[in-house]
Structure 1
Amino acid sequence: MDVLDFLKKYRLELVCILILLALVLIYNNQFYSIFGEKKYVAIHLMMEILIIVASFSIAIQAWLIVPYILSNRRLYIGALFLSLGLIEIIHTLSYKGMPFFIENSSPYSATWFYIIGRLTLPIGLLIIYILKPKKVRPAQRRITYGFAFLYAAIWMLLVFNTNHFLPPLFIDGVGPTLLKKSLQFLSLLLQITLIVYLWKNRNSSPIEKTMIIIGSIFMILGDVMFTTYNNVYDIRNFIGHVIQLVSYHYFLKALYYSSVEEPFKLLIETKAKLESSKESLHYTAYHDELTGLPNSRFLNEVLTTDLQKKDTKTAILMLKIDRLKVIYESLGSTFTDTVIKEVSIRLRESLPSEIFISRLSGGEFTIILHEIKAQDDVLTVCNQIHQAMKEQFQIQHFQLKVNLNIGVTIYPDHGQSIEELLKHAQIAMRKAKKDVKRYKFYKPKMEQHLEERLLLEHDLHYALENGELFLEYQPQVDVGTGRIDFVEALLRWKHPKKGVISPATFIPIAEESGLIVPIGEWVLETACKQTQKWHDEGNSNLGVAVNLSIRQFLQHNLVEIVKDTLEKTHLSPDYLELEITESMTMDKHYTIETLHNLKQLGVKIAIDDFGTGYSSLSYLKDFPIDCLKIDRAFVKNIHSNDRDALLISMIISLAKHLKLKIVAEGVEEIDQFEFLAKLDCDYIQGYLCGKPLSPDELSSKIEASQQQNYSYI
């Protein structure tokens, strides 16, 4: 509650007091002696008792709370009001008309004790609030409250001294003296000073200080009443006591608020924050930070509940973003996180809200379908997912096509435990990558293929060391002359037990495991060494094309590796062509910098499988490219697909205008060759002009082509 809220809350009390005050000031004569002289002593006694009770309530409350609050301000306020309560008692007992106490009651004693109390309050509060807040020991209560008793006792000795050396403040038949009025005005100034000080420093403990300010304002109004009344029977004297009682009420509320209500509210707020924190911790423990979807812990709890239902079937769909590793290695983690987040949003928006979706790690998600009736229920969800991914993602300045591979297991058909079901779903998901529909239901034989793959990965770790890897070279033939000017180095693996392993089988394993980096460096060095050997044998115009994997291309020391390899093998950089794919060009800044650094070495750059990747014609303008290689998928359908023929024609025309060398891959028929020759394609590569050969076999072919006057085709 701020100051404005507080004033609004107590506005009725303030308005009532102000109205009462206005009535008394306006109609003072009509109210004069309204209670009668005989009744006034009793009325005064009643008012004073209430004021004394209020004073001691503040003192007792402070005494009780100090051991828990340990605040010097609370302790001193309690002691201050204890001394005020004692002084009020003495003032009451010495009031005119009261029975014998230490001496007969008289205006002299009563007025002095009143003035002492009026001066003590503002001075005490000023000192307390000026002092720097600090902690106190509970034992200090006795000492501090002892000083309060001593303070009241000293004033008793001074006022009740038989010599009456203090000047009188009130004269019967005359009224208040100038000294009394002056002291009351001094009290008023001190009260105003207190108000100003508290207002300027209200930022700390604003509610407490606001209550003290309001109490002080009422004390000032009481002073006005006490200063202006004609005699003790004046209604203003009575109203002054009422207002003084109201002011003590606010002082009491100030102490109560700061010592009880405010700590209680803080306790409630702390409890609420703790509950909120527990909920937040629970949410964090059971939800993925990036996507906000349930995590693996949440998934396990849901599956545990489902697996206890023996009479129903539960489908588990394992989803994985295809080629996410390529995106990560090309564009970095921030871009990858954005892709994952956008995919999660589409999944949530495209599927019914009752379907459970969770994220495991990386680009993997899991969907649970409860109580499925038939396989078609699962197929419907799979189709919904693929339909949601059909539209390209707009991420930064990229239009990105994202595919999801989905593996499906069904409880209890494909497993009894959570671990078994998730494992089988993951196996099916890997198989889905090679399926046109991109979803697969688990079958037991899939596990056998996975084991074979793991064994193959194990053997691949030692293939390079054991000399099982070798290179074959496929010629690139000049369409105009039939001469072999370039060859492409192709990696092969001859397993000691399984024989020759297809590159389509082991190269993806090498890429996923990271083995492609050392293998790629070996390929580069071996190809350069062999090419230099051909040069030494007389084939000095022969160049070699070497494929770079995305992991190699993203190595920050790639340029140094290529430079060291050329120096080590003594091959001129003019005869080395490095082939990259379009997917490697996604990070434009890195690609431009890397390609320019490679070009400074003198090597040539080719784009392999042009037209099948993340095609963007802008890189043909921005990147230092020497060659475009048309993918075999276009060449294969030249005569059966007019669109492919048109695309090839456009690619060749574009390359010619940009003065780029053009190589068509996968040429296997003479009709394909003739079509490409008419379009003025520079080079062809394929079984028509030669399958991949060993270095010795290729040397013989080159010699044969030269003896046939370059008529290799």
Structure 2
Amino acid sequence: MEKWDLLKKYKWKFIIPLLLFLLTLIFNRNFYGVFGEDNYVTIHLVIEILIIVVSFSIAIQAWLIVPYTQREKRMYIGALFLALGLLETFHTISYKGMPFFIENSSAYSATWFYIISSLTLSCGLLLIYILKFKSIFPAQRKIIYGSAIIYVVIWVAVIYYPRHLFPDLVIEGIGTTPLKNGLQYFSIFLQLLLIGYLWFSKKISTIEKSMIIIGSIYLILANLMFTTYKNVYDIRNLIGHLFSLVSYQYFLKALYYSSVKEPYEMLVEAQQQLEHSQKSLHHTAYHDELTGLPNSRFLEEHLSKELAKRNSKTAVMMLQIDRLKFINESLGSSITDTILQEVSVRLRGLLPSKIFISRLSGGEFIIILHELGNIDEVVAVSKQIHECMQEEFQVQHFNLKVKLNIGISISPEHGDNMEILIKHAQIAKGRAQNEIERYLIYQPDMEQYLEERLILEHDLHRALENKELFLEYQPQVNVKTGHIDSVEALLRWRHPEKGIISPVTFIPIAEETGLIVPIGEWVLETACTQAKKWQEEGLGNIGVAVNLSIRQFYQHNLVQMVEQKLQKTKLSPELLELEITESMTMETSYTIKTLHALKQLGLKIAIDDFGTGYSSLSYLKDFPIDCLKIDRSFVKNIPANDQDTVMISMIISLAKLLKLKIIAEGVEDINQFAFLAELECDYIQGYLCGKPLRPEILSTNFEKLQMDIYQYV
């Protein structure tokens, strides 16, 4: 709480005593004129007893709490008010009109006891709050409190000394003396110093500070009252005593708050924070930090409870973001994290809140469908999920297409515990990535496929080392001349036991495992070496086209690696053409930078499978592209299929406008060749002009192959 907020909160506690003070200055009538002189001593006695009670309450409270707080300031405050309570007691019993005690009651004794009490309070509080005390122990209470009692005994002995050692402070009928007023003004000065120190202090709690300041203000007003009254029956004397009582009450509140209420509130706050921390810890323990979805621990507990219900079916759907690892490696973890968050938001927005969604590690999610009626329900949910993923994700300056592979297992048909159900869903998910709809329900024979795939992955690690990989080359024929200007290098694998394994089978495995990087380097070097060898054999400057995988394209040292292979094989850069797919161009700035760096080496760049990706055609004007390769899916139905015919015509026209070379893949009959030639397609590639061949066969039969092609031109 700010200082000025303090004034606003307690403004009436300041205003009321000030108004009362002003009224008493104006109304200077003797108190007995209102209530009667005989009642004054009783009224005064009641007020003094209350002051004494409050003083001893503060002393007792401090005595009791010190062993638990060990705050030295509280100990000294307790000792101070013990002394004040005793001094006020002697002030009361020596007041004019009180019974005989040691000597007849008189204004001398009563007034000096009051002045000593006032100065002790003002000076004591100031010193306690300003000075820094050493740590004390509960055993020291007796010494400190004993010192307070000795202090009072000394003053009692001095004031009750048979011969008055001090001058009178009040003269009957005349009023207070300058000495008394001066001592009280000095007490006021000390109180003002205390208020000033507390006002600017940051070490004391706001509430305690407020109570002490308010109490000091009342004490100052009491002292001002005591400097202006004429006799003991003056109303100002009464108001002064009331102000003193109120001030002591606020001092008691200050001690109570700082020693009892404040620690209690801190304890309550600590307990609330602990409860909040426990809830937060529980949430952290059972929820994924990135997406906020339940984690695997939560999934285990939830699914175990559901499976315990034997009277209903439960579907476990495992979702995996396709190619997330590649996105992470190429675009960075921040992009990956955003995709995970956005996917979770879409899933949560699509599915009802009662459907349980959990995130596992990486890009895997689990959806639990309770009380499943039939298979159609889980199929419908799978289709809804794919539909909601059709819209591209806007991540920073990228528009990314995200696909989910979904594997489904159903209890009790596919298992009756969590481990088995998730395992079977994972197996189905692995097969789903090869499906058009990208979702599959688990079938028992899938496990055999997974085992075979794991064995194949293991064997692929040794394939390069064991020289099981080899290249075949397919001619790329110039449509106008019929000459074989270049060939495309195609990777093959001859397994020692299984024979030839299709690239469709092993290349995705190489991509996922990262083996495609060393394999890709081997392919590039081998192809360049072979092209140089053909050149040396007199077959001419036959160019060679090599496919780059996504992982290769996003290698940080791609350009340096290509340059090194060209230098090692001594192949002219213009005879090398690197093929990339449209899917590699989603990170535009990186693609442009990398392609320009490759072009500076002197080689050519081709976009493979053009028309099947999802990059914007407008990017073509920014990319340093030399060639577009029309995918075989557009070629196989021409010229019979009107849509494919129109599509190919548009692609070739676009390429001509951009001054790009065009290669049509998958040309297998003369009608396709004739149609492409009519559209002025630059090159064709396919079985019509030659199947992929081993390099030695191509070398041996090059002339015959060339003569066979001439017949189509």
- Shorter-chain TM range is over 0.9
In the alignment, the residues of structure 2 paired with residue 233 and residue 654 of structure 1 have an alpha-carbon distance, to the nearest angstrom, of: 114
Q: List aligned pairs for 1:419-568, cutoff 5 A.
A: 419-568=419-568
In the alignment, the residues of structure 2 paired with residue 570 and residue 77 of structure 1 have an alpha-carbon distance, to the nearest angstrom, of: 95
Residue 12 of structure 1 deviates from its aligned partner by 6.8
Counterpart residue number, 2:327: 327
Residue 443 of structure 1 deviates from its aligned partner by 0.8
CA contact (8 A) 1:474 1:685 kept: yes
Counterpart residue number, 1:118: 118
In the alignment, the residues of structure 2 paired with residue 475 and residue 644 of structure 1 have an alpha-carbon distance, to the nearest angstrom, of: 24
Residue 386 of structure 1 deviates from its aligned partner by 2.3
Residue 261 of structure 1 deviates from its aligned partner by 0.5
Residue 348 of structure 1 deviates from its aligned partner by 0.9
Residue 96 of structure 1 deviates from its aligned partner by 1.9
Counterpart residue number, 1:74: 74
Which runs of 5 or more residues in structure 2 are unaligned?
Answer: none
Residue 624 of structure 1 deviates from its aligned partner by 2.3
**Which deviates the most, 393-402 or 132-141?**
132-141
Could you tell me the TM-score, scaled by structure 2's length?
Answer: 0.95
Q: List aligned pairs for 1:290-309, cutoff 5 A.
A: 290-309=290-309
CA contact (8 A) 1:3 1:210 kept: no
> In structure 2, do the counterparts of structure 1 residues 709 and 688 end up closer, same or farther at CA, with 3 Å as the change threshold?
closer
1:416 is paired with a residue whose SS is coil
Residue type of the alignment partner of 1:477: V
In the alignment, the residues of structure 2 paired with residue 475 and residue 314 of structure 1 have an alpha-carbon distance, to the nearest angstrom, of: 55
1:475 is paired with a residue whose SS is strand
In the alignment, the residues of structure 1 paired with residue 711 and residue 67 of structure 2 have an alpha-carbon distance, to the nearest angstrom, of: 107
**Which deviates the most, 194-203 or 546-555?**
194-203
1:278 is paired with a residue whose SS is helix
In the alignment, the residues of structure 1 paired with residue 132 and residue 672 of structure 2 have an alpha-carbon distance, to the nearest angstrom, of: 95
1:527 is paired with a residue whose SS is helix
Counterpart residue number, 1:129: 129
CA contact (8 A) 2:54 2:252 kept: yes
**Percent of counterpart pairs with the same letter?**
67
CA contact (8 A) 2:44 2:238 kept: yes
CA contact (8 A) 1:226 1:237 kept: yes
> In structure 2, do the counterparts of structure 1 residues 675 and 136 end up closer, same or farther at CA, with 3 Å as the change threshold?
farther
In the alignment, the residues of structure 1 paired with residue 387 and residue 166 of structure 2 have an alpha-carbon distance, to the nearest angstrom, of: 100
In the alignment, the residues of structure 1 paired with residue 551 and residue 386 of structure 2 have an alpha-carbon distance, to the nearest angstrom, of: 29
Counterpart residue number, 1:271: 271
CA contact (8 A) 1:2 1:207 kept: no
CA contact (8 A) 2:639 2:675 kept: no
In the alignment, the residues of structure 2 paired with residue 263 and residue 644 of structure 1 have an alpha-carbon distance, to the nearest angstrom, of: 82
**Which deviates the most, 6-15 or 603-612?**
6-15
Counterpart residue number, 1:88: 88
CA contact (8 A) 1:33 1:235 kept: no
Residue 414 of structure 1 deviates from its aligned partner by 0.4
- Deviation by residue 1:90-148 (Cα, 9 ceiling, x = unmatched): 21222222233333322111111111111122222122222247643333323322332
Residue 226 of structure 1 deviates from its aligned partner by 1.6
Residue type of the alignment partner of 1:109: S
CA contact (8 A) 1:33 1:234 kept: no
Residue 688 of structure 1 deviates from its aligned partner by 1.2
**Which deviates the most, 92-101 or 506-515?**
92-101
Residue type of the alignment partner of 1:409: S
Residue type of the alignment partner of 1:594: T
Residue type of the alignment partner of 1:557: N
> In structure 2, do the counterparts of structure 1 residues 75 and 408 end up closer, same or farther at CA, with 3 Å as the change threshold?
same
- Deviation by residue 1:192-238 (Cα, 9 ceiling, x = unmatched): 22222211225741111111011111112212222222211122212
Residue 609 of structure 1 deviates from its aligned partner by 1.4
Residue type of the alignment partner of 2:182: S
CA contact (8 A) 1:330 1:586 kept: no
CA contact (8 A) 2:398 2:587 kept: no
- Deviation by residue 1:217-262 (Cα, 9 ceiling, x = unmatched): 1112212222222211122212211111111110000011111111
Residue type of the alignment partner of 1:130: I
In the alignment, the residues of structure 2 paired with residue 68 and residue 5 of structure 1 have an alpha-carbon distance, to the nearest angstrom, of: 32
**Which deviates the most, 96-105 or 106-115?**
96-105
**Which deviates the most, 211-220 or 11-20?**
11-20
In the alignment, the residues of structure 2 paired with residue 332 and residue 639 of structure 1 have an alpha-carbon distance, to the nearest angstrom, of: 44
CA contact (8 A) 1:577 1:604 kept: yes
In the alignment, the residues of structure 2 paired with residue 22 and residue 578 of structure 1 have an alpha-carbon distance, to the nearest angstrom, of: 99
Residue 506 of structure 1 deviates from its aligned partner by 0.5
1:228 is paired with a residue whose SS is coil
In the alignment, the residues of structure 2 paired with residue 272 and residue 2 of structure 1 have an alpha-carbon distance, to the nearest angstrom, of: 25
2:405 is paired with a residue whose SS is strand
Counterpart residue number, 1:50: 50
Residue 638 of structure 1 deviates from its aligned partner by 3.1
Counterpart residue number, 1:623: 623
Residue type of the alignment partner of 1:635: V
1:477 is paired with a residue whose SS is strand
How many pairs does the alignment contain? 713
CA contact (8 A) 1:330 1:584 kept: no
**Which deviates the most, 26-35 or 301-310?**
26-35
Please, what is the CA RMSD of the aligned residues? 2.2
**Which deviates the most, 260-269 or 134-143?**
134-143
Counterpart residue number, 1:674: 674
Counterpart residue number, 2:698: 698
> In structure 2, do the counterparts of structure 1 residues 673 and 64 end up closer, same or farther at CA, with 3 Å as the change threshold?
same
Question: Does 1:413 pair with 2:413?
Answer: yes
CA contact (8 A) 2:553 2:584 kept: yes
> In structure 2, do the counterparts of structure 1 residues 497 and 135 end up closer, same or farther at CA, with 3 Å as the change threshold?
same
CA contact (8 A) 1:329 1:550 kept: no
**Which deviates the most, 100-109 or 547-556?**
100-109
CA contact (8 A) 2:30 2:234 kept: no
Counterpart residue number, 1:99: 99
In the alignment, the residues of structure 2 paired with residue 336 and residue 277 of structure 1 have an alpha-carbon distance, to the nearest angstrom, of: 29
Residue type of the alignment partner of 2:49: I
CA contact (8 A) 1:472 1:491 kept: yes
Question: Does 1:210 pair with 2:221?
Answer: no
Q: List aligned pairs for 1:194-205, cutoff 5 A.
A: 194-201=194-201, 204-205=204-205
> In structure 2, do the counterparts of structure 1 residues 339 and 190 end up closer, same or farther at CA, with 3 Å as the change threshold?
same
CA contact (8 A) 2:30 2:235 kept: no
> In structure 2, do the counterparts of structure 1 residues 637 and 78 end up closer, same or farther at CA, with 3 Å as the change threshold?
farther
CA contact (8 A) 1:24 1:31 kept: no
> In structure 2, do the counterparts of structure 1 residues 641 and 101 end up closer, same or farther at CA, with 3 Å as the change threshold?
farther
1:311 is paired with a residue whose SS is coil
Residue 326 of structure 1 deviates from its aligned partner by 3.3
Residue 17 of structure 1 deviates from its aligned partner by 4.9
Counterpart residue number, 2:664: 664
In the alignment, the residues of structure 2 paired with residue 227 and residue 512 of structure 1 have an alpha-carbon distance, to the nearest angstrom, of: 95
CA contact (8 A) 2:476 2:685 kept: yes
Counterpart residue number, 1:583: 583
CA contact (8 A) 1:229 1:236 kept: yes
Question: Does 1:234 pair with 2:234?
Answer: yes
Residue type of the alignment partner of 1:495: H
> In structure 2, do the counterparts of structure 1 residues 12 and 707 end up closer, same or farther at CA, with 3 Å as the change threshold?
closer
Q: List aligned pairs for 1:302-451, cutoff 5 A.
A: 302-451=302-451
Residue 14 of structure 1 deviates from its aligned partner by 6.1
Residue 30 of structure 1 deviates from its aligned partner by 7.2
- Deviation by residue 1:534-572 (Cα, 9 ceiling, x = unmatched): 111012311111111111122212222222222222222
In the alignment, the residues of structure 2 paired with residue 326 and residue 645 of structure 1 have an alpha-carbon distance, to the nearest angstrom, of: 35
CA contact (8 A) 1:170 1:180 kept: yes
In the alignment, the residues of structure 1 paired with residue 75 and residue 642 of structure 2 have an alpha-carbon distance, to the nearest angstrom, of: 97
**Which deviates the most, 372-381 or 95-104?**
95-104
In the alignment, the residues of structure 1 paired with residue 139 and residue 204 of structure 2 have an alpha-carbon distance, to the nearest angstrom, of: 27
Residue type of the alignment partner of 2:404: L
In the alignment, the residues of structure 2 paired with residue 108 and residue 490 of structure 1 have an alpha-carbon distance, to the nearest angstrom, of: 120
CA contact (8 A) 1:71 1:134 kept: no
2:35 is paired with a residue whose SS is coil
- Deviation by residue 1:64-114 (Cα, 9 ceiling, x = unmatched): 222222222222212221221121122122222223333332211111111
In the alignment, the residues of structure 2 paired with residue 430 and residue 705 of structure 1 have an alpha-carbon distance, to the nearest angstrom, of: 42
Residue 661 of structure 1 deviates from its aligned partner by 1.9
Residue 61 of structure 1 deviates from its aligned partner by 1.2
